[in-house]
Chain A
Amino acid sequence: MADLDFEAQLSRLYGQPPVFRDAELFTQRVTQKLDRGWAVRRVVIGATGVVAGLVVAAQLIGGRFVSEFSAVSRDGVQKMDLGLDKVAARYDQLFTLGGTETLWLAAGLAAIALAFAVTRLVDEV
């Protein structure tokens, strides 16, 4: 019985936290660390988004270029007998029509992603 009383008393004493004069400072330190960690995480997410955007843009340009180039090559083989002049004309088309549009689209996407990242960075810092 005395043992149980003592153990209950001990649990009660453990339940009474000491009073720290710097308790508020401790709370501030923890919340500041939380805020800092949160800010870093958001910047990392933003940066990841920018990188992903740039990769997508690069893929878009690259994919378009490859498909156009392979189309040109196919046509070139078929129309080899028609002469190199026609192939050259088609190759020129790559940069004057679809290729230019794609390039502008990719540049636009990259600019939006960059603006988003800069806004986020300014917001966080």
Chain B
Amino acid sequence: MGVRPPTGHDVELAALAAAGDRQAFGELVRRHGSAVRGLLRRLGADSATADDIAQDAFLVGFEQIADYRGEGAFGGWIKKTAARLYLRKVKRDSRFVLTETAEDAAPAASDGSGAAADRMDLDEALKVLSKGERLCVSLCYGADWSHAEAAEALNIPLGTVKSHVKRGLDKLRVRMAPPSGSVSNDSARRENLG
């Protein structure tokens, strides 16, 4: 007979983990592991790097679990930790230059065809963003960072973060917009209902 995993709210599990209960923390990893791995990929990390950083984030999270007082969601807290670790790696590797470039200013790619499912696929849509835009949009909407927090962490001006986010959102809006046919169908449906 195996040991049953602990149950309960994230805050309760975090309190147990803070007292040294590794099983409770394991349950938190089970619940939030995919979200953290997904966020890191959406920030721009490749699969292997994303998983390595996600593991490190949870290990750091266990070390610092006493700092989590349940004021926000545990998922948000651990995602912020993961994003911080990823940014540290990005800066260390100097892989990305987050200044405005011609690539950043390029208009969003609009394929004009493709299934609605593909259009709604966030991960696919993120591919049309520049690295800087992708990072800023994912930090602000995926890790719930404010623009100011992102600017400070990335060590770039606040205005640059706002530009990246705005241009990123514009591109995503175009990329993820429902096909014109479905819009007219929706309108027709609404008119019929009305």
Interface size on A, residues (CB 8 A): 23
Let me know if A31 and B173 touch, CB within 8 A: no
Answer yes or no: A13 CB below 8 A from chain B CBs.
yes
Interface of A is mostly: helix
Answer yes or no: B141 CB below 8 A from chain A CBs.
yes
Answer yes or no: B74 CB below 8 A from chain A CBs.
no
Let me know if A23 and B33 touch, CB within 8 A: yes
Contact of A33 among B30, B51, B59 (CB under 8 A): B59
Could you mark each residue 83-124 of chain A with 1 if its beta carbon is under 8 Å from any beta carbon of chain B, else 0? 000000000000000000000000000000000000000000
Range, interface on chain B: 20 to 34
CB distance from A114 to the nearest CB of B (A): 27
Answer yes or no: B118 CB below 8 A from chain A CBs.
no
* Interface 9-residue window, one of B21-29, B88-96, B108-116, B146-154: B21-29
Let me know if A33 and B55 touch, CB within 8 A: yes
Let me know if B38 and A17 touch, CB within 8 A: yes
From 9 to 63 in chain B, residues with beta carbon under 8 angstroms from any chain A beta carbon are 22, 25-26, 29-30, 33-35, 37-39, 41-42, 51, 54-55, 58-59, 62
Residues of B within 8 A of A (CB): 22, 25-26, 29-30, 33-35, 37-39, 41-42, 51, 54-55, 58-59, 62, 120, 122-123, 137-138, 141-142, 169, 172-173
Residues of A within 8 A of B (CB): 3, 6-7, 10-11, 13-14, 17-20, 23-24, 26-27, 29-31, 33-35, 37-38
